[in-house]
A and B are shown apart, each in its own frame.
Chain A
Amino acid sequence: MELFRLTAHELHDKLRAGEITSVEITQSVLERINAVDSKIQAYVTVVEELALEQARIVDVHLRDGDPLPLLAGIPVSLKDLICTKGIPTTCSSRILQDFVPPYDATVAQKLNDQQIVMLGKLNMDEFAMGSSTENSAFMVTRNPWDLERIPGGSSGGAAAAIAADAAICALGSDTGGSIRQPAALCGIVGMKPTYGRVSRYGLVAFASSLDQIGPLTKDVTDCAWMLNAICGHDPMDSTSVNLPVPDFTQSLVQDIEDLRIGIPDEYFIEGMESDVERRVREAIAELEGLGAQVVRVSLPHSEYAVATYYIIAPAEASANLARYDGVRYGFRAEETTDLIDMYKKTRSKGFGSEVKRRIMLGTYALSSGFYDAYYLKAQKVRTLIKQDFDEAFEQVDVIVAPTSPTGAFKIGEKVDDPLQMYLSDILTIPANLAGLPGISIPCGLTLQNLPVGLQIVGKPFDEETVLRTAYTYEQNTDHHKQRPTLE
């Protein structure tokens, strides 16, 4: 049996039935990584020995009949901007190439508490800045559905690894769509919880008011399991919200009878690939057929979302990335003449061009004389975008739309055109600006055999309805079972 092909909940059942061991699962996934990762290049770091050691410990507990958490013994991989004590955390940047955190991110700690098996760290756009994973300082991750194409980004390593069965579950981060967009382009499930639902402590910050950690999984059930493991208030993160966390597995029911689903006109934009629109419309019809009530809604300020995002995110990033100065850790340029020279050379050589572009954008937007026209204005538009959603959610329970306007594009196709690249996230950014939970689930393939993602966005802290909608759709379709052939 090819264990690496299974989901976390399937593996759990077999583990608990005594049919398999955690070591067998871990070895199976490690072998899969060995077999396919040279093609897809998803992993920055694989911690084989640590993984097998952790698996052995879980197996001892299983043999002894000790009570274990749900995810115990299941391999999990993390996007390489989630700090892991003793394991390099590079953000796919030269400036942090050799950085080994002396602390765990809160989510890493929570996963350790679940006794998961840590497999390794996944490639990404440098500091999560990008939509194709081409901005990694180390390598370009390939889309398992077509190795000539990008996997999306910035959590491209995570999405590609899950799609290629080179990981069972993964955690990524979503600032403007960085979980949902690659999940869509790789044909898997990816969810961004409500801002404040998951602690950001130990998540290397890109844009603090937008970043949120979330799972990338093979199906909605695994997504709920992962959410149960990582959600909750953290006293180490002032922006994490002190609300009770529901048991998300309770949302894994097929029940969308009379659920009101909003379809925003503004999300079926010009330039959207016709195949993508077709698949999404079919999915909406499917949901309607399952009993949901489909309502047209309007989110009139959506057209300003990308512009707003590209002020706020770079502004925050320009400050968040100031700490990489060569003084205390990370890369420091050699042969420098004085302090300023050290700063300049370290940051010029340590950061890639997209990161530098955004630092400059953000620095400019915050500069004296420009602040009101850019940053302050953007914050006001952000409020309007939030209000759009508030109003829409008075009529509907969830909003359904495409995740990405296109399928996966060719490697190199947009690297020289940052504005084209930025538009990849046009349909995911609004949920970040409004702090809302959103999921992308597979809803079929284009004629080119590329996955299309269906995005479901919910009310603040209503991940449950999002999951219930996604689960109902998934259980009535087969899209999530489709996997690329890599051989």
Chain B
Amino acid sequence: MNSKYETVIGLEIHAELATESKLFCRCKVGFGAEANTQTCPICLGMPGVLPVLNERALEYTIRAALALNCEIPPYSKFDRKNYFYPDLPKGYQISQLHLPFSQNGYVEFDLERERKKVGITRVHLEEDAGKLVHTGVSNSSNMSYVDFNRSCIPLIEIVGEPDLRSPAEAIAYMRAVKEILEYVGVSHCNMEQGQLRADLNVSLRPRGSSEYGTRTEVKNMNSFRSILAALEYEVERQAQVLDSGGSVEQETLLFDEERGITMSMRNKEEAHDYRYFPEPDLVPFEIDATWVEQLRSDLPELPLQRRERLQREYGLSADDALALAATRQMADYYEACVSLSGQAKECANWVRGDLSALLNETGQTIELCRATPQHLADMLSLIQSGAISGKIAKTVLEKMFHTGRDAKSIVEAEGLTQISDEDQIAAIIDDVIDSHPGPADDVRNGRLKAIGFLVGQVMKATQGKANPRLVNELLRAKLLG
């Protein structure tokens, strides 16, 4: 990284809202439907049709905006953004330019233990376009088809201030925004399905300078990996241009994932004149302040606050809080476990550790997890009472996870109960000492390290069911008097 320059990054994040129907018509929204089956005259831009705002989309926009600390002006309207492209059925996109539903917000997040604050210029609502599908080998067929299923799906555009100073910071910011949108439940943010995309504005300036350099914009990025790669590439490229005495050209770029480079899509001269003007088919909106306050008070606790509370209330480490509050559902699950079991630290270990591993392995989400907080709490109380060992508990959790059965019935059915009967354990210990006289003598002669080996043999003989604490005690008593 070139240290002569300061990196300046601003993101425009587009998030698809998780409404059941589209923004201006009543078509259902759903991923993976057959092409053009989720369409109607309105989202196909037929002659004479008119848009009618989906109130739920407005509500989601305001919720997102409030979660991003934005102001909600009392008066707002839509504008037409004019350009020609086959995926844009009306020849204009209904968007917001002059009076968006919200403005002047900010996002806070932690990066490497440091609190960052990034300004949000505005959050506005607009409609998505369709999707082009190209078929055939390029030299044998040049047909393009359009799928309008995505046309008119509600999108919010979150325009961030150029407050980001490194690609890593940009990624952390985008993750923070994604978490917030997921927390308030307005978007599924599935990046593979294109529900969360970003345009990246990048410029460099000499360190200490207060003026911005010429920026480039990398369009339509939808994975953290490629965003990071594109930002790093673009920062390096601009630094090289500046180092060689050149100047950065203001242009719109596309990122070629395979080659890992950005390529020019259009330069400043070719930039579109979108000829924005107020959308006459939709009357301006007066936003009721009481309603906004209602939405504000209905907001759930947001990721940052939740992490702070988890640390405060349950004495968790910053790392534990970061992981456990990654989604609202995960944090809810964790807190349910704690309230049922009273064991904050143990819950954190199990949820972050074994349970998260199982979720990752199976690609499941915590909401659909068959091992419920009650199951987990029951399991913890079995450990606490000594009925099962921590090691056995791992097996129990796995079985709970896959079958949805409770801990007790698994332990009983599989005969996993811990052996805590002293006579039974003593008999096994005698067998082990008999068959391993060497290590036994070592212990007798004060080389206590060998105890571990003998404990292991007892556990092995009981398939892990012997109470390890008892085994240890009895062994010592027997060998050391």
- Report which A residues bind B (CB closer than 8 A): 81-83, 89, 91, 96, 99, 101-103, 105, 200-205, 207-209, 235-239, 315-316, 318-319, 321-325, 327-329, 339, 343, 363, 366-368, 371, 375
Contacts and interface: CB of A to CB of B under 8 A. Distances in A.
A366 B276 CA distance: 7
A327 B86 contact: yes
Interface stretch (B27-35, B48-56, B370-378, B463-471): B48-56
Contact of B80 (A236, A319, A328, A371): A319
B314 interface: no
Interface stretch (B279-287, B394-402, B445-453, B472-480): B279-287
B44 interface: yes
Interface stretch (B87-95, B347-355, B404-412, B430-438): B87-95
- In this complex, which of B48, B80, B90, B281 has the most chain A Cβ atoms within 10 angstroms of its Cβ? B48
A319 B92 CA distance: 7
A436 to B, nearest CB: 17
20 contacts: A82-B48, A83-B48, A89-B48, A101-B48, A201-B49, A202-B48, A208-B281, A238-B282, A239-B281, A316-B280, A319-B277, A322-B82, A322-B90, A322-B91, A323-B91, A328-B89, A339-B86, A363-B275, A366-B82, A371-B276
B50 A236 contact: yes
Nearest to B144: A339
A92 B86 CA distance: 25
A329 B41 CA distance: 11
Contacts of A204: 47-48
B185 interface: no
Nearest to A102: B41
Nearest to B281: A208
B90 A323 contact: yes
B47 A323 contact: yes
Contact of B48 (A105, A318, A319): A105
Contacts of B52: 235-238
B273 interface: yes
Contacts of B86: 325, 327, 339
Contacts of A322: 82, 84, 90-92
A66 B280 CA distance: 43
A91 to B, nearest CB: 7
B143 to A, nearest CB: 12
Interface residues of B, number: 28
Contacts of B44: 328
Nearest to B52: A238
Contacts of B48: 81-83, 89, 101, 105, 200-205
Nearest to B81: A319
Interface string B56-94: 000000000000000000000000101010100111100
Contacts of A368: 273, 275
Contact of A323 (B45, B50, B146, B277): B45
B46 interface: yes
Given A204-B48, A235-B52, A103 B281 contact: no
B51 A238 contact: yes
Contacts of B82: 318-319, 322, 366
Contacts of A316: 277, 280
Contacts of A371: 275-277
A323 B281 contact: no
A66 B337 CA distance: 69
A270 B46 CA distance: 43
Contacts of B46: 101-103, 323, 328-329
A83 B46 CA distance: 10
Nearest to B90: A323
Interface string B270-297: 0001011100111100000000000000
Contacts of A83: 47-48
B377 to A, nearest CB: 50
A91 B91 contact: no
Contacts of B280: 207-209, 239, 316
Contacts of B276: 366, 371
A375 B277 contact: yes
Contacts of A236: 50, 52
A117 B370 CA distance: 63
A209 B283 CA distance: 10
4 residue pairs, one from A and one from B, having the closest CB atoms: A322-B91, A208-B280, A366-B275, A209-B280
- In this complex, which of A81, A238, A315, A318 has the most chain B Cβ atoms within 10 angstroms of its Cβ? A238
Nearest to B142: A338
B421 to A, nearest CB: 75
- In this complex, which of B51, B273, B277 has the most chain A Cβ atoms within 10 angstroms of its Cβ? B277
A89 B86 CA distance: 23
A237 B282 CA distance: 8
Nearest to A376: B277
A363 B277 CA distance: 11
Given A315-B277, A319-B275, A328-B89, 17 more contacts: A81-B48, A82-B48, A89-B48, A99-B47, A101-B41, A101-B47, A103-B41, A200-B48, A200-B50, A201-B50, A238-B50, A318-B275, A319-B80, A323-B45, A323-B91, A324-B47, A328-B146
